[in-house]
Amino acid sequence: MYTPTVSFRLKPEVYLKLEAIAAEEGQSPGVYLKKKLESDTNSFLEDLKFMKGDISEILYLLQSDDEDIKAVESTSNQNDMVKALMPIVLESLLILREVAAPNKVANAQKLVNKAGIKSHNSLD
């Protein structure tokens, strides 16, 4: 099995900090970084899997017309569901904002503006 190698350069002061952190863990800087990246990647993928289910449920609610929703549940239950979903929506958006590179955020905002909706951080 082929295992790709990743290499990059660090400023000397950054490397010294990394070396000190790795030494506290009893590891070399390379082993420490590898484990850290693998752990962070697995956590991120798990977060995305849970968010995908939450977002699917939210999209279903947003795309359902009022008659479909009323057929399934009463208005008070719908309001309760919206209140219950708001923390999930907020958390999902904050997680996505945290992991998104600035250029990805800018691209998303352009797409929102292109759809005819003013994006939240738009300076227009």
| pLDDT of 47 | 74
3-state secondary structure (DSSP) of residue 103: helix
| pLDDT of 96 | 79
Handedness of CA 30, 32, 35, 39 (dihedral sign): negative
Angle value at C-alpha 22, between 19 and 25, nearest 5 degrees: 150
What mean pLDDT do residues 84-108 have? 78
| pLDDT of 78 | 63
Q: For the chain, percent helix, then strand, then coil, each to nearest 5?
A: 75, 0, 25
Angle value at C-alpha 50, between 49 and 53, nearest 5 degrees: 90
Q: How confident is the model at residue 74 (pLDDT cuts 50, 70, 90)?
A: low
Cα–Cα nearest to 30, from 1, 8, 45, 11 = 8
Handedness of CA 21, 25, 31, 33 (dihedral sign): negative
List the domain boundaries for the chain.
12-100
pLDDT in tens, 39-69: 877 777 777 777 777 777 766 766 665 555 5
pLDDT in tens, 5-48: 888 898 999 999 999 999 999 999 999 988 888 887 777 777 77
Q: How confident is the model at residue 75 (pLDDT cuts 50, 70, 90)?
A: low
Cβ neighbours for 22, distance < 8 A, ≥ 6 positions apart: 28, 29, 31, 32, 33
